[in-house]
Structures are given as C-alpha cells and as structure tokens.
Amino acid sequence: MTRNADDAAGLDPALLRLADVPAGRVLTWYSDDVTASEPYGYGWIDVHIEKVERGIRSPAWALTVVPPGDPDDCVHNVETEPDVDLHVVFEQEGCTRRHVLQCPVPRGGNLDTDDGDRLRARLAADPALGYSVVPAWTESAVTSALNSWIAETLGRPDLRFSWNSAAGPSPMRRRVEQQVVDARNGPTYDSGIPGVRIADGVMDTLLAIPAEDAAAVMEAIRDVANGPDSKAR
C-alpha cells in the first residue's frame, strides 16, 4: 500500500519539496540495508534519497520500505510485498552475526541445485554456522515501491527512482562505526540487550540525538545482535 496525497501533510518538508523537482528527473536512492555486496534487504529497508539528504529534518533516513500490514503505521513508511525468500547462512562471534552466504529465490520457490549444494556444503563444513530463510526485497522491488510512492503520494508519476549501489554508508552509520572504533577501550554501559554493552561515546550520542534516531540506532544494534531472524517480524 502506498499512501495518497491526503497523507502527504505529515511528511518531512524536504520530502514534500520533491513535488517541485523539474519534470522527468531521475532521483537516486541508497540504503545501508541494500548494498552492492549484499543487494537484498529484509524486515524493513531504511531508504536515503540523495536529492533530500542534506535538507531532511531527521538525518537517519527519508523513507522506510516495510511489508504490508506493518504495525508501525508511520507516514514515512512505504508498504510493498517482499519479492524473494533469502536463504542466509551466518556465523556468530559473541553477540554479532555476520552473513557468510546469501541465496535469494523467488517467493515460495526452491533453491536451484547449485545454490542448494553450496549452502549444504557450507553448513556441513562448519556445524557452528546458523541458517535462516527470511522474506526480502531486491533493489528492483524497492525502486518500484518508491516509484509508486512518489506517483501516488506526491502526484509525480513523471519522476523515477534509481538505486545508487556505490553510495553510502549513511552519515549515521559512519558516525556510529567511528564511535565504536574510538571507544573500544573506554567505559561501557548495559544496553538492555543480552550480550551487548554500549561504549561511552555512543551513549553520549544516543542521549544527544532525537529520540527517534536513538531508537533507530538501538534497533540496528539489536538486529546485529540477534541475527537475520530478528528483522523477519
């Protein structure tokens, strides 16, 4: 479901200014959740629109792609069906899980022989690896959802979106990553997430930024700690 023009009033002013972009322009988007190395996102995808990146009130993201029926009925949500099932093999190091192998298939489909053999061989070689199947979006599904959003919500079907796979990470992601590096040996605080403590510098930032941005950072930390299943809500 894409919101109609009646819902546009609650949007960030920078997003509303997209309605004044000259006809026929192509708008580029990127995401920390959909990258050149891992071009599939699951659970939800926070989208940055480069045209409005500097003017947006909250620097965390511009729009969020979510599955239909998402309980968070936010004006900045763009609902669309995932188009693939993502088979994920991951390894766990402490509270952190890192993707080792990703194999996408059309929703409800089966892995082809080669991908199935690769997945089984990887799991057999290391019994400590985890495995999960989650509904996910390809970049083309995200682009299609954004095209529908700008046509229906802002009344601009002439504007089109294109994924910039070379962009990112986002300013927030870079800031958090640098703070983690800088604070490795500093004091830490209980995060409320099992196995995760928050470094002093990160805690200072969480207390200083808007509450919605701090919640987004904590949600991202929780996702990393819990692995792929945590975003398949």
DSSP 22: P
Q: How much is the pLDDT for 120?
A: 95
Measuring CA to CA, which residue among 225, 220, 204 is closest to residue 169? 220
Query: What's the mean pLDDT when you consider all of the chain?
Result: 83
Amino acid at 94: G
Tokens found for residue 83: 């188009």
Domain boundary (119, 138, 168) is at 168
* 213 plus 139 within the same structural domain: no
Same domain, 131 and 189: no
Q: Are residues 137 and 206 in the same domain?
A: no
Residue 109 makes CB contacts below 8 A (sequence gap 6+) with 85
Higher pLDDT, 146 or 220: 146
Per-residue pLDDT tens over the stretch 166-178:
988 887 777 777 7
Residues 126 and 178 grouped into a single domain: no
Which of these three, 153, 168, 183, is where a domain ends? 168
Predicted local confidence at residue 184, as pLDDT: 67
User: pLDDT tens digits, residue range 36-51?
Assistant: 988 999 999 999 988 7
Are residues 49 and 159 part of one domain?
Answer: yes
In 3D space, the residue among 138, 130, 136, 139 whose CA is nearest the CA of residue 99 turns out to be 130
For residue range 144-162, list pLDDT tens digits in order: 999 999 999 999 999 999 9
136 is in which domain, residue-wise? 1-168
With 50 as the cut, is the pLDDT of residue 16 above it? yes
For residue 221, give every residue at least 6 positions away whose Cβ sits within 8 Å of its Cβ, in sequence order, or none.
191, 193, 196
Q: Which residues pair with 29 in a beta bridge?
A: 49, 163
Q: What is the mean pLDDT of the segment spanning 71-81?
A: 86
| Sign of CA pseudo-dihedral 227, 210, 30, 8 | positive
Residues 5 and 76 in one domain: yes
SS3 189: strand
Residue 188 CB-density burial (10 A; 0-12 exposed, 13-18 middle, 19+ buried):
middle
175/102 same-domain check: no
| Overall residue count recorded for the chain in this entry | 233
Q: Give yes or no: residues 83 and 187 share one domain.
A: no
In this prediction, residues 10-36 reach a mean pLDDT of 87
Same domain, 101 and 54: yes
Count of domains for the chain: 2
**Is the confidence at residue 54, as pLDDT, over 50?**
yes
Shared-domain flag, residues 193 and 156? no
Same domain, residue pair 101 and 177: no
Whether residues 204 and 102 share a domain: the answer is no
Mean pLDDT on 194-207: 79
What is the rounded average pLDDT of the residues 5-11? Answer: 63
Per-residue pLDDT averaged across 186-209, rounded? 79
> Whole-angstrom Cα distance, residue 113 to residue 13?
49
Q: Which residue matches tokens 């470094």?
A: 199
Residues 12, 57: Cα–Cα separation, whole Å: 7
